[in-house]
Chains A and B, each alone.
Chain A
Amino acid sequence: MLVCEMDDKGSLAAYLGRASLGFEPVEVSPGVFAMAMNTEDSLREYIRLFLRVPVIGSLTPLARIFDFVANAAPAVKEILAVGKLCYEVRERHYDVVIVDSEASGHFVAQVSAPDALATLVRIGIVADQTKWMSDLLHDPAVSTVLAVVTPEEMPVVETIELRTRLSQATPIDFAGVIVNRMPDSIVDSSVLAAARADASLGMTSEVAEWLVARREAAETQAKRLADAFELGNIETIAEARATGQPAMSPVVTTDHVVGELQRVLREHQ
């Protein structure tokens, strides 16, 4: 399996307990490879694999072409990122390729880049290349989009809008949505009522109120998402809690999320 972080901000590396990740995939645990996208490296690889153009031997023309690619034709920059991943899928180098995409606005542009470019470039190597990428991306047996969202106002609204925008931009399959970082229900309504009724508890009842408000706000957002996606039940991943630790390391969070995902899978069996 290959997992790739698109915007190279180093979060994936942190969650996998690595100092950094590069374009060259590294095996982070048995069978799991991780990489960070870099469009310049992607172009270099592309040229090496597909265009046997002699002038590429020296570095200067490549830098100039990259300058061209990045500035004059932004679509090409997106296609280099998407193309690299589609290539890994097409060549079956991995069973699964998981992409940690960019923020939702960028994501739509990225995933629809082959379609957009096909309307611009009608002949040439890029034109030939966009066709097979689109085919892979549009095939629901091959590619799908999974939205992960925290149960908060703005991300939820953005996710609902994302599906609409995505369907307008490209016919890619949308698998569904998972709510991440759902706060635990520590205090239920009967405990809250008891806390309110007992004047001797003082600040404790405010603590209970705060935890209940936090949980309820999250539930409201999860419900809104479930309604928008017409899901009776929405899968949630509980918020990782820093029990007894001052600062939770990202790796601990990863273990927690793995545990939660295994629970979700068991519940579905």
Chain B
Amino acid sequence: MTTAQGMDARVAELLRDSKMIIVCGPGGVGKTTSAAALGVVTATHFAKRVLVLTVDPAKRLATALGLEAIGNVEVAVPLPGAQGTLTMAMIDTKTSWDDMIRRHAPDAATRDRVLGNDLYKTLTSRFVHSHDYVVTERLFDARESGNFDVVIVDTPPSRSALSVLDAPRRMQQFFGSRLIKLLTAPTQSRLLSIASRPFFIVADRILGAAFLSDIAEFFTLFRTMETPIVARARRVESLLSDPATSYLVVTSAEPVAMNEAGFLVQELRQRKHRLEAVLANRIMPRRLADDATRRAEALESSTDPTRQRLAVAEREIASIADAESHALDRIQEWGADLLLSESRGGDITDTASLLTLGEAIRRR
């Protein structure tokens, strides 16, 4: 069933009704491109202000969208004739953390001490896991700002998406944990506390006392922001399970990618997130395969070498189609709606090709 714009009705409904679409999936299946294509389609056909937030520094995608580069700052994407507007932004971990500290620091002195702390600098710029929480902060900001009607989030590949989704909860648990209390307890009471002594003996031996005191200083400062950060983390967490927040798992028809996608589907369900659909990407155009075997047989009866070769091509198409349809049957067993995106051949070079790609997505 198609809409007035020639779009699949199910896809149109998803794009019309969601306030946030979180796109997850294994690496290398075209997740970022799919997120961008959905953004272009939504902004083109609906009078909505759309934001696509991506965690990948995809330069080529920026070029396709007519942008110099996607930065932490939101950039408007020119879409001629669109009913709505499209904005793109990439999440830069360091800048986002700095923004968060600026927002929550109780006073200027604490802010400057945190921002200048060596441990803070290393944690926020060099270690990937520090990324997780700020991603959720950024998408919460985007929803809260009131500047956008739909936010489409391109998450990091595979399981990293889950650590992002779990980050608000972990942040709350972290502040409530005995660990942070131990770390930030004054040195004097640490020495006196018999209960925590084994912890410090081991921690000191592994990490060294100097590092421990760096950590202690940092977390003591960090704790001054506990109340606002925990309150916010709680709101971020509830946004992730809000009924208007939809999850879309992108996969290819390749077995290992599918295993990973299947795992993500399971995990999202376990977290009670609203899984809207699975999108099978880079599927061969169906119409090529219809009748391919019959055409191959006809060509094989010829002695002409060109026709013989074309018969091989038809057999190849039939075999790809066969493998794909088995793969798609398996995906359907997961019980979510299955959307298909066909591989058009040719690169994504501009917003027009993203629009064509997005418009052709249909339900199987």
Chain A residues at the B interface, C-beta cutoff of 8 Å: 7, 9-11, 14-15, 51, 53, 55-56, 61, 64-65, 67-68, 71-78, 103, 105-106, 109, 112, 116, 119-127, 150, 152-155, 157-158, 161, 184, 186-187, 190-191, 194-195, 201, 203-204, 206-211, 213-214, 217, 241-250, 253
Contacts and interface: CB of A to CB of B under 8 A. Distances in A.
B28 A109 contact: no
Q: How big is chain B's contact interface, by range?
A: 35 or more
Q: Which secondary structure dominates chain A's binding surface?
A: helix
Contacts of B57: 161
Given A105-B128, A109-B126, A124-B209, A191 B323 contact: no
B310 A195 contact: yes
B364 interface: no
Contacts of B177: 67, 71
B129 interface: yes
B234 interface: no
B313 A152 contact: no
A203 B295 contact: yes
Nearest to B27: A103
A103 B322 CA distance: 30
Contacts, number: 214
Given A157-B59, A208-B310, A53 B159 contact: no
Contacts of B126: 75, 109, 112, 116
Interface string B108-152: 000000000011001100111110000000000000000000000
A134 to B, nearest CB: 15
* Interface core residue of B58, B126, B130 (most chain A CB under 10 Å): B126
Interface string B279-294: 0000011011001100
Nearest to A241: B319
Given A103-B27, A153-B347, A217-B346, A211 B317 contact: yes
Given A53-B205, A73-B215, A246-B323, A211 B316 contact: yes
B241 interface: no
A15 B256 CA distance: 9
B60 interface: yes
Contacts of A71: 170, 174, 177, 179
A51 B295 contact: no
Q: Which of B122, B219, B285, B346 is most buried by chain A, counting CB atoms within 10 A of its CB?
A: B122
Q: Which of A161, A191, A207, A249 has the most CB of B within 10 A?
A: A207
Given A153-B347, A187-B309, A187-B310, A125 B205 contact: yes
Contacts of A72: 179-180, 183, 215, 219
Contacts of B299: 204
Most chain-A Cβ atoms within 10 A of its Cβ — which of B208, B312, B327?
B208
B178 A122 contact: no
Interface string B56-89: 1111110000000000000000000000000000
Contacts of A158: 56
13 contacts: A65-B203, A74-B130, A78-B127, A106-B160, A126-B207, A191-B313, A195-B310, A206-B288, A208-B310, A211-B317, A214-B343, A244-B319, A248-B255
